[in-house]
Amino acid sequence: MLSRREESRPLQRCVTTVNRSALRPPSDVRRQPMEYFVGLLLSLAVAVSATVIGMDRDRAFYPTVLIVIASYYVLFAVMGGSGSALGIEIAVASGFAIIAALGFKKNLWLVAAAIAGHGVFDFVHHWLIENPGVPRWWPGFCLAFDVILGGWLAVRLMRRHARA
């Protein structure tokens, strides 16, 4: 049974249940090959299955994926219990969401560039924003995932243009 004080602090309860050993301290920027490998495999699985099933025929598919990808850092800020990181991460995610909307409305090349660009952002994120909730393995995983998925979309767009 929770005390009244604990009941009034749901974010703190959530934060205390996080496995702290899985979180990346700001000074630890070592990368493991496995995080890149898993990111690569998962991005190919998503891209190929979306293409084979036909889900990526809908113009909204990749912009939606971009919004979801960018929103993870907001979740990590909540997990880490950092209000300052939360505000910054919401602003950054909003920027990617705006690019996703513009790309959806105007040109999917913006979305391809933003997905790949988010991968580069993942790699330098820890130098720009101190977010204690980011798992140690996330930057390498997301870098690989984003760059491969952005490249996949770029190839699909080039093929579509070549056929037209």
Q: Along the 164 residues of the chain, how does pLDDT read in single tens digits? A: 555 555 555 555 444 444 444 444 444 555 679 999 999 999 999 999 999 999 999 999 999 999 999 999 999 999 999 999 999 999 999 999 999 999 999 999 999 999 999 999 999 999 999 999 999 999 999 999 999 999 999 999 998 877 65
> Residue 19 domain-assigned?
no
Q: How many domains in the chain?
A: 1
Residue 49 falls inside a structural domain: yes
Look at residue 103 in the predicted model and tell me its pLDDT: 97
Identify residue 78 by its one-letter amino acid code: V
- 9 found inside a domain: no
Q: Report the pLDDT value the prediction gives residue 115, as an integer from 0 to 100.
A: 98
- Is 14 a domain residue? no
Query: CA dist 147 to 33, 39, 82, 117, 158, Å?
Result: 16, 10, 28, 7, 16
Kindly state whether residue 27 falls inside one of the protein's structural domains.
no
With tokens 């720009």, the residue in question is: 128
Domain extent for 153: 32-163
Task: Quote the pLDDT of residue 125.
Answer: 95
Q: How far, in Å, CA of 32 to CA of 27, rounded?
A: 15
Integer Cα distance of 115 and 47 in angstroms: 13
Would you state the pLDDT for residue 2? Answer: 52
The pLDDT value recorded for residue 34 is 94
What is the pTM assigned to this prediction? Answer: 0.79
Res 163: pLDDT: 67
**10 inside domain:** no
Flag whether 70 is in a domain: yes
